[in-house]
Structure 1
Amino acid sequence: MTKINWEYWQNLALVMAVITLPMPKYNLNTQAIILMIMVWLFSGDLFNKLKRIKIKKYQFLSISIWLFMFVIGLLYSDNLEIGFKNIIKAMPLLVIPLVCFSEDMSVKKVEYLLKWFCTSVICCALFSLTKATYFTYMNFGNYFYNYNLATLLNAHTTYYSLFCVGAILFFLYQILFNKNKIIYWLWMFFLLAFLYLLSSRMSVFSLGAGTFTLLYIKFGVRSLFSVLPISLVIVGALFSPNFQKREIGNSQFGTTTPTISSRILHWKAVVNAVKSDNVIIGGGSGTNKTHVYKSYEEYGFRKGAFHKYNAHNQFLEHFIYFGLMAFLVWSFCFWIWSKSLFKNQHPMLFSLMVVTICSMLTESILERQRGIVFFALFISLALSMKTKENEVYD
C-alpha cells in the first residue's frame, strides 16, 4: 500500500491558500483553508504538533485570541445569530495559526509561499486590466479607476491595495537582500502603476512605512536619509490626478472618499456609542451595532448611519465588540509581536506586519475574510518561522 505523503499535501494546501487569497471568488480561499485543516488533522503525530505549538504558545495566542474573544463575547450578546456568524468568520484566526505553528516553517518555505502569493496578485491584476480594457472598448464606462477596477476582482480597494503593497515589498526585499533582477523591477513598477489606478490613500502611506522598514533593516541609521524622498513621493501621489479626482468625487461613477474631518467625526461617534453602552466589555460579539448607527445620526454622520458603516479602524471596531478589554488584548499582541520580531525578524514579514497595522488605522481589516486570512496567514508566518541569526542578511 502506497504511503500518503502528508507533508506534500500540507504544503500544497498552504500554497492554495495564498494563491486563492487575491482571487475574485471567496469560496476558493475558503475551500483551500478547509483542505489545509483537514490535511493537518489527518497527517503526522498530533502530540508533536501540539508540542511545537506549545513552544510558541504566546505567539500563537496573539493571533487566535480574537476568536476566543468572540466566543467569550457571545455570553453577553443580545443577538446570538450575529455572534455565531462572527465566530465562524473569525475561524481562520485559529485554523491558520494551528497549521503554521505546528509545521517546520523555514525561511525557504516562507519565501516560496510569498512568491506564489505575488504571482497570484500579478495574474489577478492582469485579469482585471484585461476586463477593464474590454469594457472600455465596448463603451461600458471607465473601469480603470479606484473602486470600479477593484470591482472586476470582486474586491474592495482596501484589500486589493493591501495585496499589491505586500507584493511590491516582496520584490523590493528580493532586490535589497537577495538578487537584483530586472524582472523584479518590472513587476514592482507594474504593481505600482496598478496601485495608482486603485488610488487608495492608506496604501500609499503603508507602502512608504513598509519601504522604510526594509531600508532600515538593510542600512540601519543611514536609512533616515530616505525619509524625505519617501515623504515627497507620498505627497506627490496624493496630489496626482487620480487621487485628486477621487478626493472631489469627480468620476463617471461618482466615487467619493472621506475627508480627515469626516473620518474624525466618524471615530468620535463610535467612541461615544461605546461609552453610552458598556465601555468596559462592549456590546459583545453578537451586537447589532444599532447604538453605533444611532450615534452616527447624533453626530450628523448620516451617510454612515444610512449605509451602516463599520468603524473604519480595526482597534475601534474591536472596541465596539469588547470595550476597553479590546485595548488590553491589543497591548498583549503588540508586546508579543515586538518581543518576537525585534529579536529575530525576517525583513519582508516584518514590513508586512507594519503595513497591516498601518492599514488597521483607517480600515476594519478583520471584518472581511480577505483581511482576516491576510492577517492570520502572514502574521503566523512571521511569528512561526525558524531563522538562524543573520541567515537572512548574508
Structure 2
Amino acid sequence: MPNLTSGRLGPVQNSKMKHVGVFMRVNLLSIAMALCIGLLPWNEKWNTISIIVLFAGVLFDAVIKKRKYRLDLKRFFVGSGVFFVALLWLPLSDDLSTGWSYLERLLTAALFPLLFSMVVKYCKLNIRYIFFAFMASCLFRYLFFLGGLLEFELLFILDYWNEVLIQFNQFFKQKALHPSYFSMYLGFCAIICFYFYSISKSLRQRSFWIGSLFVFLLINLTLASKMPFVATIAALIFGVAFHLYKTSGSRGRKRYIVGLVVGLVAFGVYIYKVPNVIKQDIGNYYDYFSGKNSESLYDYNQYGTNYSLETWNRTNRIHIWKSSISLLKANFLLGVGTGDIRAELNNQYLVDGHPYLSNKDANTHNQYLDYFIKFGIFGFGILLFCFYTYVKSALNKSNPTYLMFLILALMCMFTENILSRQLGIVFFFFFQSLFFFSESKEVKTSACTN
C-alpha cells in the first residue's frame, strides 16, 4: 500500500497517474482539426461535414466556458482577404449564380482565419497530430488507388512492374482526385518529413524521416504533375539551405550534404530510367519552343489514357495563357467580376480560334491571372498585399516550415487555379491560417488553458 501520509504514490499509482497525464495532454481540438484536414483527400462532402462539426464544437466550447475574444480585425481581414475581395467584386458580375457558387466554395477562406484567430488565444495546438494525420491520410489514399490498379496475382512477374511504372504516371487522372492537387498534398507531406527530420535528435529518427521524405517524392513523381513536383523541390532546397545555415559545426554540415547528394543522385537516376510523362512533356515543350514538330519520347497510349499529342497541342497552357492575357488587357482596371470569368474566357477562346478550349470550359490554369482578370488591378493589388503579408509573417517568425509551405502553394498557383476548388481552398487556408495566427515560431505542443 502506498504511504498516503507522505504525499507520495507507489510505483503502480505513479504509473497510472503518468498514463492519465498523457491522456490529459491529448489535445482534443488538435485531434478534431487533424480529422478535418485528414478527410480532405478522401471526400469533399465528408470534409465539409467535418469543418461544420469543428466550428460547432469550438463555438459550443466558447459558449460553455464563456470565453471573451478580442478579434484582431486587421490580421483577420488580411488572412481572409481573398474571400472579401471576391465578395466586394460580386456586384460587377452579370452571372451572379456562378459568383455565389464560388463564394460558397470560398467560405472556408474566411472561416479558417476566424477559427484560428480565436483558438490561438486560449489553446496552443499540437501541430504533430495535424501533420501526422495529413501524412497518413495522403499515404493511405495513394495506397487505396494503387490497390485498385494492381493485379495482385501478377506482382511476382518482373515484366508486369514495367507496365505498372508506365501506368503510374496517369492513373490518377482516371480517378476522382485531381492529380495536381494530390501532388501538392504529397509535396507538403515531404515538407512535413523535413520538419520532423530537422527537429529529430537521434540518427535513427533522422534516417526514418529522410527516408520517408524520399518515399513521398517518389510516389509524387508517379502523378506526373510538373509544377507541384518542381515546387516541392524548390521548397525543400530552401529548407535545406536554411537548415545548413542553422547547423553548427563543419562535420555536421558535411555529413548532411553527403547524405543529401547521395539521395539526389539516386533520385535523379530513377527519373532518368523510369518512363514518365514529365520527361515526355519536357521534350514536347522543347520541340514547341524550338519550332520543331512534337515527337513523343513515349507513346501516350502506354499510359492507359486517351491523352495524345493532338490533345497536348489543343489544351496547351500556352494557348490558354495567351487568351487569358488578351482578356486581361481588355479588363485591366476593374476586372470582369467574381462570376463572369468563365463566360468571358470562353468567348475569348472563340475569338482566338480555340473552340476546343471553349467547349471544355478551360480555366486560366494560373491563379494570379484568374484573380487579375476577375478583380482588375485594384483587387489583385489587395491580394498581392495579403500574400506579401503571409510571407513577411513567416520571415518574422523565422518559421522555415511556413515558408516552405508558401513556396509550394504559391508556385503551384502559376499553373493551376488552386483557390478555385475545395481541394485547394481548404488545404491552403487551413495550413495558412494555422501558421499565420500562431504566436510562436512553431506552433507549440500544449493542452488548452481554461
Q: TM-score if structure 2 supplies the norm length?
A: 0.74
Q: Give the equivalent residue in structure 2 for 1:264.
A: 318
State yes or no: 1:169 paired with 2:186. Answer: no
Shift of 1:265: 3.0
User: Which residue does the alignment assign to 2:136?
Assistant: 119
Cα offset, 1:185, TM superposition: 3.7
Q: 1:241 aligns with which of 263, 275, 293?
A: 275
Residue 87 of structure 2 is matched in structure 1 by 71
Alpha-carbon distance in 2 for matches of 1:10, 1:107: 10
2:223 is the counterpart of 1:202: no
Whole-Å separation in 1 of the counterparts to 2:369 and 2:395: 26
Partner of 2:103: 87
Counterpart secondary structure, 2:411: helix
- The farther-off stretch of 332-341 and 236-245 is 236-245
Code of the residue aligned with 2:391 in structure 1: it is S
Moved more, 324-333 or 355-364: 324-333
Where does residue 344 of structure 1 map in the other structure?
397
Note the C-alpha offset of 1:309.
0.7
Structure 1 or 2, whichever has the larger Rg, is: 2
Report the Cα offset of residue 186 of structure 1: 4.0
Indicate if the aligned counterparts of 1:132 and 1:149 stay in contact, CA closer than 8 A: no
Deviations 1:217-263 (A, max 9, x none): 2123999x98x97998679848952123566434331335857x942
Identify which of 385, 388, 393 aligns with 2:438.
385
Q: Structure 2: how far apart are the matches of 1:127 and 1:166?
A: 19
* TM-score, length of structure 1 as denominator length: 0.84
- Contact 1:279 1:324 (8 Å CA) reproduced: yes
What letter is aligned with 2:406? M
Q: Structure 2 CA distance, aligned partners of 1:311 and 1:238?
A: 31
Post-superposition shift, 1:47?
A: 8.5
1:297 CA drift (Å): 2.8
Q: CA deviation at 1:117?
A: 0.7
Give, in whole Å, the separation in 1 of the partners of 2:271 and 2:116.
Answer: 37
Q: 1:183 aligns with which of 200, 208, 211?
A: 208
Distance 1:361 1:258, change over 3 A: farther
Structure 1 match to 2:305: 253
CA contact (8 A) 2:399 2:441 kept: no
Deviation at 1:81, TM superposition (A): 1.0
Deviations 1:134-183 (A, max 9, x none): 499699x969423423544x211101000101101111221233245243
1:146 to 169, 181, 197: 169
Aligned to 2:182: 160
Q: 1:270 and 1:235 mapped to 2: Cα distance?
A: 38
- Return the offset for 1:119: 1.1
Residues 1:27 and 1:391: Cα distance change in structure 2 (over 3 Å): closer
Is the Cα contact below 8 Å between 2:82 and 2:383 reproduced in 1? no
* Offset, 1:313: 0.5
Higher relative contact order (CA 8 A, sep 6+): 2
Alpha-carbon distance in structure 2 between the residues aligned to 1:354 and 1:186: 22
Does residue 28 of the first structure (1) align with residue 46 of the second (2)? Answer: yes
Task: Report the counterpart of residue 307 of structure 1 in structure 2.
Answer: 360
Asked if structure 1 preserves the Cα contact closer than 8 Å seen for 2:231 and 2:412, the reply is yes
Distance 1:49 1:375 in 2: 28
CA distance in 2, matches of 1:238, 1:330: 39
Matched, 1:273 2:327: yes
Q: 1:210 to 1:238 in 2, by over 3 A?
A: farther
- Preserved contact between residue 82 and residue 286 of structure 1 (Cα < 8 Å): yes
Rounded to whole Å, the distance in 1 between the matches of 2:345 and 2:264 is 35
Q: Distance in 1 between matches of 2:272 and 2:355?
A: 27
Does the 8 A contact of 1:107 with 1:386 survive in 2? no
Q: Which residue does the alignment assign to 2:408? A: 355
Cα distance between partner residues in 2 of 1:275 and 1:311: 14
Distance 1:125 1:136, change over 3 A: farther
Pairwise CA RMSD of aligned residues? 3.6
- List alignment gaps of at least 5 residues for structure 2: 1-23, 248-252, 285-295, 446-450
- Contact 1:314-1:362 within 8 A present in 2 as well: yes
1:294 matched to 2:344:
no
CA–CA distance in 2 between the matches of 1:115 and 1:43? 25
- State the Cα distance separating 1:290 from its structure 2 match: 2.1
Find the aligned partners of 1:149 and 1:391 in 2 and give their Cα distance.
Answer: 36
Distance 1:378 1:388, change over 3 A: closer
Q: Percent identity?
A: 24
User: Which deviates further from its counterpart, 351-360 or 334-343?
Assistant: 334-343
